[in-house]
Amino acid sequence: MRWYWIDRFLEFESGRYAKAVKSISLAEDHLHDHFENYPMIPHSLVIEGVAQTGGLLVSEHTDFVEKVVLAKVPKATFYCDAIPGDTLTYTTTIEYIKDEGAMVSATSHKGDVLHGELEIVFAHLNDSRLEALIDPESFLRMMRLLGAFDVGHAADGSPLVPSPRLLQSIEVGGNGRANAS
């Protein structure tokens, strides 16, 4: 299965906040085990979707240079269930970014109804052995697929575009080998 727990960005304001949607569908295989006769999105996967929204927001702020990983979920409170046919809107707001990591506060809404409130702490990993994990091409693909560049704005308000550094690192290849385009 593909590990996408959001479907599209509605808003993406670099360095500030991002909104993404997650559509819940009976076509998602795991829902038939969670639970049999009462499919509902597991809260753990809502957390993952919120982490993906917030994580891309935090990562983009440092032009995908920092290795941003989900480190801690201080708060995840849910108020109702979300079931197939529902569309969840995740709003993530950067509370704090510093060298060591970032904290994001978030809400999940089912229409106007508050579905969940969360806090997520991300850490910036600085272990050079993890270089191989960083794949700029994947980030670019994900941002494009999720429509970040269709709706997003850079810090100065101009339309969000892939940075020259990101595009260049893809042309060269994450491991220094040239990629065929």
Partner 1 sequence: MPTKDEIFEKIQAALVDALGVDDEDVTPEATLVGDLGAESIDFLDIVFRLEKAFDIKIPRGELFPEDVLTDSQYVQDGRVTEEGLAELRKRMPFADLDKFAENPVVQDFGNLLTVADMSRYIESKVEVTG
The residues carrying an active-site annotation are 34
Given 98, 164, 177, 180, the residue binding partner 1 (CB under 8 A): 98
The owner of tokens 């997003």 is 152
Asked if residue 121 binds partner 1 (CB under 8 A), the reply is yes
Asked if residue 79 binds partner 1 (CB under 8 A), the reply is no
Asked if residue 30 binds partner 1 (CB under 8 A), the reply is no
Asked if residue 76 binds partner 1 (CB under 8 A), the reply is no
CA 89 – CA 120 distance, rounded (Å) = 16
Task: Find all residues with CB under 8 Å of 31, minimum gap 6, and list them.
Answer: 24, 39, 40, 41, 84
**Which of 125/154 has CB closer to partner 1?**
125
Asked if residue 127 binds partner 1 (CB under 8 A), the reply is no
Asked if residue 95 binds partner 1 (CB under 8 A), the reply is yes
Residue range at the interface with partner 1 (CB under 8 A); choices 84-92, 94-102, 105-113, 160-168: 94-102
Identify residue 135 by its one-letter amino acid code.
Answer: D
Asked if residue 103 binds partner 1 (CB under 8 A), the reply is yes
Q: Is 107 exposed, middle or buried (0-12, 13-18, 19+ CB in 10 A)?
A: middle
Spatial CA neighbour of 24 closest among 2, 42, 50, 48: 42
For the chain, report the end-to-end CA distance as a whole number of angstroms: 26
CA 109 – CA 3 distance, rounded (Å) = 21
- Least distance in angstroms from the C-beta of 71 to partner 1: 5
Given 83, 123, 125, 134, the residue binding partner 1 (CB under 8 A): 123
Q: Which residues bind partner 1 (CB under 8 A)?
A: 71-72, 74-75, 95-96, 98-101, 103, 121, 123
